[in-house]
């Protein structure tokens, strides 16, 4: 495992979208600024989706404008479920998006209201229309679905192959409802990397069953190029029954920093922002450090 670890925070999207009460745009921007100040190099700052489906994201363009004006070279990206979302992201000024579709046919229909073929058609349309846009693919329910149960590895490899043929070179394997366990993480990542050694694979792990940190660490050991976490563990897919919080960014950073890995992230600054987020947002937080009153020397040495 490389000593340099890229931790990507997706809290402003995957965390905020789970909160029913609208979070003021100014508060969202303040939290994102805090994550950037802590040293996180890449953040999924919003998603471009229908306001009817997820009202929380109705200020996506405003958030992008505020962050990009202050940090023009920062690696900010957004999640999009379809061509219209990609169009909105491009018009807002983003250079990178992550499209999402589910390995599970049932979850794909519940999450983005499309069949697999319809989602594949959307990906092709995005690639053809915006050839200069950096596009990665999030494959939701890679490690299990609340509707279908276990998803075969062969089906994952087949889907990756179809998306690769369209022109996508980077994928994030997502544990949407936290069903994964270490040997499953190992199986899926090793199979994907063996079948497609030229592609980039990232990990997005939820902490539903208290295995988020462990599974994320195993993914890194299996060659994940980056790992996605959410500030304070805020999150839970609104279209997946049983989904709870994400793996906490500050909890993972604490473990990695203490274990000698280079994240480039200041734990104390990140924890301060995480505690602030919890104080102003009424949401599902699964992080642990946000509930600990530690002696200052413990925090500063993390």
Taking only the tens place, the pLDDT of each residue in 206-220 is: 999 999 999 999 999
Given this model, what pLDDT does residue 244 score? 64
| Beta-ladder partners of 205 | 175
Q: CA 69 → CA 64, 73, 241, distances in Å?
A: 8, 9, 37
pLDDT reading at 246 higher than 80: yes
Give the span between the Cα atoms of 210 and 134, in whole angstroms.
33
Counting every residue, how long is the chain? 302
| Beta-ladder partners of 80 | 99
Coil, helix or strand at residue 266: coil
| Confidence category of residue 125, pLDDT binned at 50, 70, 90 | very high
Q: Which two tokens stand for residue 19?
A: 């909160």
Confidence (pTM)? 0.94
pLDDT reading at 241 higher than 60: no
Given this model, what pLDDT does residue 242 score? 53
In DSSP notation, 235-251 reads ---TTSTT--PBPBHHH
Coil, helix or strand at residue 42: strand
> Of 55, 39, 7, which Cα lies nearest the Cα of 212?
7
Given this model, what pLDDT does residue 293 score? 79
Q: What are 47-62's pLDDT values in tens digits?
A: 999 999 999 999 999 9
| Confidence category of residue 229, pLDDT binned at 50, 70, 90 | very high
Does the active-site annotation cover 237?
yes
pLDDT reading at 302 higher than 60: no
Least confident of 210-214, 265-269, 297-301: 297-301
Greatest CA span in the chain, whole angstroms? 54
> Of 114, 108, 28, which Cα lies nearest the Cα of 63?
28
What is the pLDDT averaged over residues 239-253? 79
Q: Domain 7-300 is in which class?
A: alpha beta
Of residues 145, 174, 222, 237, which has the active-site annotation? 237
Say if residues 76 and 67 touch (Cβ distance below 8 Å). yes
């Amino acid at each position: 495992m490389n000593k340099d670890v890229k931790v990507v925070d997706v809290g402003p999207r995957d965390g905020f979208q789970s909160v029913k009460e609208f979070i003021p745009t100014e508060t969202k921007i303040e939290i994102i600024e805090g994550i950037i100040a802590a040293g996180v190099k890449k953040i999924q700052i919003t998603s471009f989706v229908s306001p009817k489906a997820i009202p929380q994201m109705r200020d996506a363009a405003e958030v992008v404008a505020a962050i990009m004006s202050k940090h023009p070279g920062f690696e900010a990206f957004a999640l999009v479920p379809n061509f219209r979302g990609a169009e909105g992201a491009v018009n807002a000024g983003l250079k990178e998006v992550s499209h999402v579709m589910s390995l599970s046919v049932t979850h794909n229909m519940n999450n983005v209201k499309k069949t697999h073929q319809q989602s594949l058609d959307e990906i092709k349309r995005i690639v053809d229309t915006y050839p200069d846009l950096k596009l990665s693919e999030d494959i939701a329910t890679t490690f299990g679905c609340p509707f279908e149960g276990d998803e075969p590895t062969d089906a994952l490899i087949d889907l990756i192959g179809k998306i690769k043929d369209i022109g996508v070179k980077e994928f994030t394997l997502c544990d949407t409802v936290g069903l994964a366990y270490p040997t499953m993480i190992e199986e899926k990542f090793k199979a994907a990397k063996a079948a497609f050694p030229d592609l980039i694979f990232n990990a997005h792990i939820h902490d539903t069953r208290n295995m988020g940190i462990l599974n994320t660490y195993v993914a890194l050991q299996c060659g994940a190029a980056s790992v996605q976490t959410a500030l304070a563990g805020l999150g839970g897919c609104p279209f997946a029954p049983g989904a709870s919080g994400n793996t906490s960014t500050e909890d993972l950073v604490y473990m990695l920093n203490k274990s000698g890995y280079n994240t480039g992230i200041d734990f104390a600054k990140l924890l301060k922002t995480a505690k602030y987020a919890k104080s102003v947002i009424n949401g599902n937080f699964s992080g642990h450090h946000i509930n600990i009153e530690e002696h200052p020397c413990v925090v500063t040495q993390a």
